[in-house]
Structure 1
């Protein structure tokens, strides 16, 4: 039996149809939910998580659009993804920045307990949090096959999405 992981990155309301939503993000919700629902391995989620002090953070100063404030509707996973998460009792890694060190460390521990066959990433935003998590995981687990499905990811813009896919391919992340 395969020991595979699917990491669903930041499929939260604010990135879909909220403060930072895009038509491209809206277009992938059902397909990501279907992939997470039917995945035969372990599914985990990340959530971009900010506090009421967001405006005073470096990210808040550089991107002065409050989003994913803990406890708000925008912070919650899209309903279709929350249904999958609940049904699977999938873990969620809340992260205050683009990449999750906690997720990477957890995956290392999982790999130490039983070697991981593959890790697949999907979600939002390809050019910010997906690429950040891909490279963080790759740095922690360089010998574990890592992939990203561009059809199940969306960037801030289509051009930024494509650039991130190119960057990940250059860093030996398999593009599905």
Structure 2
């Protein structure tokens, strides 16, 4: 089975507390990729709690975002509707790379998947973290990232992350 991972397409990352115009600009493309994908879909949600500013991440990025139960934590409306249409699994993650993502993939795929694609936010933090995590778990499974359906913290950090993933034998498509 093929699996699409839609990484952190949440309100706070798009037009909320740490949103960017680049993130706003990929929403329709991500929805298009989801709609046309022939396989299972998993949407991750970056998840923080009231003590965020006291965490290691919060001390390095002192901007509250994706606090569980807030509008910012929710998937963006277009993405949420597409997730419902595709019967996507929506999973919270409390680290950049979702430690339980391989387990979720194997539940959906009934074992090792035949192909994994990633899209979403942010290319240079959570997309790359999850792509690398999955490459470690599945070294023989083709893994790709659709560059046209990702955005980074900055355009330059997006490009840097794509280059780093290429070096680790992750296929980058639609650059």
Asked if these proteins are the same fold (TM beyond 0.5), I'd say yes
Pair 54,115 (structure 1): closer, same or farther in 2 beyond 3 Å:
closer
2:100 counterpart SS class: helix
Partner of 1:84: 82
- Tell me how far apart the structure 2 counterparts of residues 15 and 170 of structure 1 sit (CA, whole Å): 27
1:35 counterpart SS class: helix
Q: How does 1:15-164 map to 2 (within 5 A)?
A: 15-110=13-108, 113-164=110-161
1:24 counterpart SS class: helix
TM superposition score normalised by structure 1: 0.95
Give runs of ≥4 in structure 1 deviating > 4 Å.
Answer: 108-111
1:170 aligns with 2:134: no
User: Contact conserved, 2:41 with 2:87, CA < 8 A, in 1?
Assistant: no
TM-superposition CA deviations, 1:30-84 (whole Å, max 9, x none)? 1101110221111110000000010110000000000000010110101000001
User: Contact conserved, 2:34 with 2:86, CA < 8 A, in 1?
Assistant: no
Give 1:116 shift.
Answer: 1.8
- Tell me how far apart the structure 2 counterparts of residues 120 and 41 of structure 1 sit (CA, whole Å): 10
- Tell me how far apart the structure 2 counterparts of residues 105 and 131 of structure 1 sit (CA, whole Å): 19
Give 1:104 shift.
Answer: 2.1
Unaligned runs of 5+ in 2: none
1:101 counterpart SS class: coil
TM-superposition CA deviations, 1:99-127 (whole Å, max 9, x none)? 0011123224556x344221000000000
Q: Report the count of equivalent residues.
A: 173
